Structure 1
Amino acid sequence: MKKGIIMVLCVLLAVALVVIGVISFKDDSNKNTDITSDVTSSPESSAAVSPEPDSGTLKMADDFTLTDLNGNQVTLSELKGKNVFLNFFATWCSPCKRELPDIQKIEEEYKDKDLLVYLVDLGEDENTVKEFLKKNNYTFNVLMDINSDAGNLYRTTEIPTSFFINKEGRIVVRHTSIMTYEQMKNNVEKLYK
């Protein structure tokens, strides 16, 4: 008798788990597919660098126009002729915050070498970003991506994510996750080859 009750309970438990799994799967499939609506900071150990294709097949960087903290519009395609280090970040992102001092160092080191460094803030308000920069004495050019339009265009689902774009407007390296100073410098140097 006890074995029969235990068997019935096990079957009921298995059925309940299957029902929960089906409901959960259906709920996930109905979620909004906006790429950056659920942007997360990337795990520190998962650096993903896109393979470097042959120089003749480098992908053109998608164009966008965003406004900086001074109210100026910046259009990526108008930056051709300069190398661009584009970093998607947010002030709440711990890995982003840890790599910012090295980005500042790269910006200062390459300021006279045709390198433009732009940070793209995803979804935060201007005052939050201005206060963060002031508090940390950063002098970055920050572009405000309030609606994550550029983030969606560049399929940025984890931050920090960086793009190294050469003078022709082609993406030489995409790097997802925090970078060391040496990694940044190595990726910047690839722009000059």
Structure 2
Amino acid sequence: MKNPFNIAIIHVLWRHLRPWAIFAIVFVVLRVTGALSGVSYFTSSALMKTGILDAATAPPAVMKTFDYNFNIKDLQGQVIDFNRFKGKTIFLNVWATWCGPCRVEMPAIDELYKKVKDNDKIVFVMLSIDKSENFTKVVDFTREKGFAFPVYVPSGYLPKQLQVSMIPTTLVINSDGKIVSKETGTTNYDTPKFKEFLESL
């Protein structure tokens, strides 16, 4: 026979925990599908502070090889062959000036960059996919925000791996050219765990 007292406790707990359970389920669905990148700037900013958006630090079971065969351009207009970054750990973030979720995560990325910028084994590539005619807008946005990390734009063709359907998308490529991390949507990278993960590659 079921204990009425235990049943009552279960009902009370469910009544109080149900909103959080629903929130957790919705969050997981949004994160897994990549739809979290469409959540509002203010909602994403609030979630960043909870720790729920912290970047994962476990490499995937199957690591794909990254295609280095393309060019990018820095904010001074210099074209750079991406192959020059081979042999280094690369933090590559695909973003755009019009992307609210991108803007949310950028200050934390900038803080992470400042902590590891003296490590010559790590390279940051903040790759704006704004239209080419908006190059000046990318330059102005970066200067206005005062970001320290290096910003680039595509210079011609981008490999399929970077023709992403959702932004922000961030890849971490290890020194062997393997993609060891991929995050879609607003993510907090400025954590001790992620810094340690980046430095360990």
TM-score range, shorter chain: 0.5 to 0.7
The residue correspondences of 1:1-193 to structure 2 (distance < 5 A) are 42-44=37-39, 52-54=59-61, 58-63=63-68, 64-113=70-119, 114-124=121-131, 125-145=134-154, 149-150=157-158, 152-182=160-190, 186-191=193-198, 192-193=200-201
- Structure 1 residues 178 and 130, CA gap change in structure 2 (3 angstroms): same
Q: Residue 25 of structure 2 corresponds to which residue in structure 1?
A: none
The structure where strand makes up a greater share of residues is 1
Cα shift readout 1:119-172 (whole Å, capped 9, x = no counterpart): 11113321001110111111331121276x427442411000000011122111
Equivalenced residue count is 150
- Structure 1 residues 137 and 182, CA gap change in structure 2 (3 angstroms): closer
Structure 2 length as normaliser, TM-score?
Answer: 0.64
| Corresponding residue SS for 1:95 | helix
Structure 1 length as normaliser, TM-score?
Answer: 0.66
RMSD: 2.9
CA distance in 2, matches of 1:58, 1:79: 18
- Structure 1 residues 189 and 151, CA gap change in structure 2 (3 angstroms): farther
Letter in 1 for 2:59: E
- Structure 1 residues 141 and 159, CA gap change in structure 2 (3 angstroms): same
| Corresponding residue SS for 2:72 | strand
| 1:187 CA drift (Å) | 4.2
CA distance in 2, matches of 1:158, 1:151: 15
| 1:49 CA drift (Å) | 6.8
| Corresponding residue SS for 1:66 | strand
CA distance in 1, matches of 2:195, 2:183: 12
Whether the aligned pair in 2 keeps the contact of 1:107 and 1:116 (CA below 8 Å) is no
CA distance in 1, matches of 2:164, 2:147: 23
CA distance in 2, matches of 1:81, 1:146: 22
- Structure 1 residues 84 and 115, CA gap change in structure 2 (3 angstroms): same
Letter in 2 for 1:141: P
Letter in 2 for 1:42: S
Whether the aligned pair in 2 keeps the contact of 1:107 and 1:115 (CA below 8 Å) is no
- Structure 1 residue runs of 5 or longer lacking an equivalent are 1-39
- Highest CA radius of gyration, 1 or 2? 1
Whether the aligned pair in 1 keeps the contact of 2:90 and 2:174 (CA below 8 Å) is yes
